[in-house]
Chains A and B, each alone.
Chain A
């Protein structure tokens, strides 16, 4: 009985694990489309981190850790950097879409 049960488990595991290998080309393409482009992912992470920096700087100013002048300088610099990231993100998104369209 136990051996039979073990064989059933082996069969289920083999069937489950090999599922993606039995996929058609269309299904594989669809699955790949859901994947985040690494460059876009990196830029998104940098964007989130930059937003966090901007929020932190605001909080620091509200708490009196940064003088208005220091904060002004820092905030302007952070925003400039954020804008650069957003521009780059737009470009990367567009390129990723073009690549995806070309693959289709």
Chain B
């Protein structure tokens, strides 16, 4: 089936070129070409679906004649990871990118088949330009259908760090987020070229932008969770370049989703909106580039790649092209109206937009500072977490405050009297929370965190007030219970109230971030079995070591059993451990046993989670005392290995068994005479609420995306049309 897959990829490339050209011909007015181009996009989606199915089937069957399978899977890779291994490879992620693009392009072109007759052909050309680029990359630089001859007896296996359940959903979510932003971008380009710069293109692509925002958010959250539970450094966000690369389009995309509401209602911020979506998509491409280019040091950058330069060229084309287009349309992008008052929702949205973009700019500068510094000083200087914290924290604090103020104000203008009344209760709640925390906790020693708690309390109180007032207003008109009124409120305006739920989730998430980062206790301990140490109120005793060999995974695990008491009472038993993998990422020439300990290693965290926070532990055993044993085993094995002739399968199998015995000996020594281990113990207050807040935000996003029933929309419109028709009669 590999030949068929390769043929489908070539055909998809040809179809993408044809669809792009036909769409451009169709811009002259011949609808036949536009319709043919649209069908080309559907065919592109079907062809890439066949490619994905064939590559996935090859992974499931461990078809080692396919290079991508041999390089990223093996016969011992568990079935679940074989399914997810496709996007761990460069070839597979490019295929995933192009496939998601083909599906979402088909969906949007089907939905708009009878609309935007001027914009759609240009949007189709842009989307198929991207399709041509990514299928071209696969054909000429990183083919998922490249064959190996001779076929190797075994594959390399999946990178140990990627053997985590989140692998199934974290990368596809990020890619879906990146790719879905291509839809509003393509329509914005179409609107700019045709000068159809009213809000109709926004109306047709808003839901795609929301899905992109939601998927990217879920991807970021899952990445943070993965990092927290697997990486062993104790945090959920390390300001890693690739983490930052996913956060930047999310921030600018959030600004876009807010400012398009202003354009839809008031005809304002047109330049801002097209600039934001072009920036968002450019940053999404940048995210793909950073993962695949290896230009910046990152735990996510999987080595040097051949697609970095073409991706950079595409980003350059998008940035320069869209900038020139926007500049050339300045006159058409002039706002129809001005902001009536600074005390209005649109004014607050604008402030929020500036804060979000400001955050993205700070993160961009910090992420690319190593390259900037290299240009000027020949020295690649990276900026660490404290730099990011110093500049992003004040912006994030203000963002939380304005997230609460925005929903309180009406559009256009709010009188000062109304504003005071609306702000009073949330302000009292914020003052009370700040005062109580300052009086009864050590929050006063962290003023920025205290301000964040106060502002987040303001936002949560403001949102609560919004829900209560909304439900009360609905009840006064229709009666019924508060619960029913609340449900009706959501049904009546999902975008607004779904958005408020997102705001509440993010406020909770930021409270947890502030608490877990400002009030974290972190201690590095070195303990032998039987020894104890005290961290905060916890007494941690290293009870005994554990060891395990997983032959199919070629993994050796050294772990520990930690007994924890809190204030003298038994609290938890934790099992942190360290996994070592045979030969993965190890320098050559280190010996077969040494290669276990010099290559890739992953951590399994020992954690006790409660509503109030986490007790988090990781361990790295000190293998120094075992060096002698490892070296002696390697020497013996090397001596035996030298005598084995190439092609002597029986001798090689026997040698493999000997290696297994040597590893078993190391395991037994570790258990019998355990060396000391280095432990990191973190007490992370409220960290659970990061995931709870994130989940609430995701639910809110789903509510906002969910389409209102068509019948209800029509009925409401008809009611207003009738009323307006009466007014029209009187006018």
Interface residues, chain A, CB within 8 Å of chain B? 2-3, 5-6, 9-10, 13, 16-21, 23, 28, 31-32, 34-36, 38, 41-42, 44-46, 48-49, 51-57, 59-60, 62-67, 70, 74, 79-80, 82-83, 86-87
Contact = CB atoms under 8 A, between A and B. Distances in A.
Interface string B301-314: 00000000000000
A53 B411 contact: yes
B412 A38 contact: no
B265 A53 contact: yes
B407 to A, nearest CB: 10
Contact of A48 (B50, B203, B724): B203
A13 B10 CA distance: 13
B8 A65 contact: no
Contacts of A19: 35-36, 39
Contacts of B108: none
B724 A83 contact: yes
Contact of A70 (B200, B413, B493, B724): B413
B4 A63 contact: no
B559 to A, nearest CB: 49
A54 to B, nearest CB: 6
B495 to A, nearest CB: 9
B203 A45 contact: yes
B4 to A, nearest CB: 5
Nearest to A22: B32
Contact of A17 (B7, B43, B116): B43
Contacts of B40: 17
B272 interface: no
Interface in B48-67: 50
B466 interface: yes
Closest 7 A/B residue pairs (Cβ): A62-B473, A20-B35, A6-B7, A60-B410, A45-B200, A63-B469, A2-B3
Contacts of B255: none
A36 B114 contact: yes
Query: What's the dominant secondary structure at chain B's contact region?
Result: helix
B470 A42 contact: no
Query: What's the dominant secondary structure at chain A's contact region?
Result: helix
A36 B111 CA distance: 13
Identify the interface centre among B50, B411, B493: most chain A CB within 10 Å of its CB.
B411
7 contacts: A5-B4, A20-B35, A32-B31, A59-B470, A65-B410, A70-B418, A86-B725
B265 A52 contact: yes
Nearest to B417: A67
Contacts, number: 154
Contacts of B410: 56-57, 60, 65-66
Nearest to A66: B410
Interface string B464-483: 00100110011011000000
B8 A63 contact: no
Interface of B: 1, 3-4, 7-8, 11, 15, 18-19, 31-33, 35-36, 39-40, 42-43, 47, 50, 114-119, 196, 198-200, 203, 264-265, 408-415, 417-418, 421-422, 466, 469-470, 473-474, 476-477, 493, 496, 716-717, 720-721, 724-725, 727-728, 731
Given A2-B3, A49-B264, A62-B473, A21 B33 contact: yes
A49 B717 CA distance: 11
A79 B725 CA distance: 10
Nearest to B7: A6
Nearest to B476: A62
A54 B11 contact: no
A59 to B, nearest CB: 7
Nearest to B39: A17
Contacts of B203: 45, 48
B418 A67 contact: yes
B15 A67 contact: no
A62 B477 contact: yes
Nearest to A52: B265
Identify the interface centre among B15, B264, B413: most chain A CB within 10 Å of its CB.
B264
B1 to A, nearest CB: 7
Contacts of B264: 45, 49, 52
A51 B717 contact: yes
Contact of A65 (B31, B50, B119, B409): B409
B92 to A, nearest CB: 21
Contacts of B724: 79, 82-83, 86
Given A23-B32, A83-B727, 7 more contacts: A20-B36, A31-B31, A36-B115, A42-B200, A51-B716, A67-B418, A79-B727
A13 B47 contact: yes
